Amino acid sequence: MQAMVLNELRTPLKLTELPEPLPGPNEVRVKVGACGVCRTDLHVVDGDLPGPKLPIIPGHEIVGCVDALGAGVRELEIGQRVGVSWLGHTDGTCSYCLAGQENLCDRPLFTGFTRDGGYAGAVIADARYSFPLGEAGDDVALAPLLCAGLIGWRSLVMAGDGNRLGIYGFGAAAHIIAQVARWQGRTVFAFTRPLDLAAQAFARKLGVDWAGGSDERPPEPLDAAIIYATVGDLIPLALKAVRKGGRVVCAGIHMSDIPRFPYELLWEERQVISVANLTRRDGLDFLGLAPQIGLVTKTTSYPLIRANEALADLRAGRFEGAAVLVP
Ligand SMILES: [Zn+2]
Ligand SMILES: [Zn+2]
């Protein structure tokens, strides 16, 4: 099979011909139909995250069909369409797993980071972490749901039930979660880079109630804000925008340093929290809900062998929504 492989941090991925991998016990082989390109893939390539497996095949927004079963797999069958996401495996035995917080597992494996991912013709996945996707929707349109959608969903749940929701950074996750929040009946305020009028127009087209620059104050105080951009400077800005008792949720795996800010921004029971990874429950909840919401994902497709170009375009913000690789 063909794969785009990261051999060394901060170097381009290399097109490599590899033997078809074989699934071990409780694993399946998934023939990749589409794999989304997530900002986290840039952090993997850039060496921002500690402990990658090298060489590594990136990619953790995978949609494909099961084409081989390892020993002991009962929950999936050959030909079934599944999605594979960032959380690729947990030990099931640590205190976090036992407490229902498998997203914080002490010995996890992450797809496209510490186990090979979907920038390839096929991928080996833990059967327990492969979500059945059903037949509706095409592979490319579904791919961004597997991370932008899932982690976005977890961050939305963590934001609480407040009506007035701010979203900072209007990329792949935001464009999905804005639709979910509107469907839930919330009022959505989208914050983009100052003067990024194209991103603001994109947000309005998706139905948000207000769009402006991150340096602007919303017309009314927010109940909660989610930060999808990787910019630490947004935390004090978001704290200024939320009401007393409001919550700021940081949804990214990596962020630039948070600047010093006066305690009064946090005072009155405002909260800042981060969201890490996802649980299978999040996956089942969100993927079950997605067809009812009628989510529309905006995607730009690239052939697998142009993965480096897709990453460069993501870095430069050259497309709206999400990039998706097709083998
Ligand atoms: Zn664990
Ligand atoms: Zn991701």
Kindly tell me if the per-residue pLDDT of 114 is higher than 90.
yes
pLDDT per residue as tens digits for the range 225-279: 999 999 999 999 999 999 999 999 999 889 999 999 999 999 999 999 999 999 9
- Average predicted confidence (pLDDT) for the chain: 96
Sorting pLDDT into bands at 50, 70 and 90, what band is 16?
Answer: very high
Ligand 1 centroid to residue 98 C-alpha, Å: 7
Do the bridges between strand 271-274 and strand 242-250 make them parallel or antiparallel, or are there none, so unpaired?
parallel
The Cα 166–Cα 164 span in angstroms is 7
Q: Which helix (H) or strand (E) holds 281?
A: helix 280-293
Ligand 2 centroid to residue 268 C-alpha, Å: 33
Q: What is the pTM of this model?
A: 0.92
Sorting pLDDT into bands at 50, 70 and 90, what band is 319?
Answer: confident
Ligand 2 centroid to residue 273 C-alpha, Å: 18
Do the bridges between strand 87-89 and strand 109-110 make them parallel or antiparallel, or are there none, so unpaired?
antiparallel
Report which bound ligand comes closest to the CA of 254.
2
Ligand 2 centroid to residue 42 C-alpha, Å: 10
Report which bound ligand comes closest to the CA of 113.
2
127 and 28 Cβ atoms separated by less than 8 Å: yes
Report which bound ligand comes closest to the CA of 278.
2
pLDDT per residue as tens digits for the range 25-66: 999 999 999 999 999 999 999 999 999 999 999 999 999 999
Ligand 2 centroid to residue 264 C-alpha, Å: 33
The Cα 235–Cα 155 span in angstroms is 15
- For residue 152, what are the contacts with CB-CB under 8 A and spacing of at least 6? 173, 174, 176, 177, 180, 226, 228, 251
pLDDT per residue as tens digits for the range 86-96: 999 999 999 99
pLDDT per residue as tens digits for the range 285-295: 999 999 899 89
- For residue 313, what are the contacts with CB-CB under 8 A and spacing of at least 6? 300, 319, 323
The Cα 265–Cα 241 span in angstroms is 9
Calculate the CA dihedral of residues 273, 275, 276, 279 and round it to 10 degrees. 130
DSSP H helices, 206-279, are 234-241
Across residues 126-143, what is the average pLDDT? 94
Ligand 1 centroid to residue 234 C-alpha, Å: 32
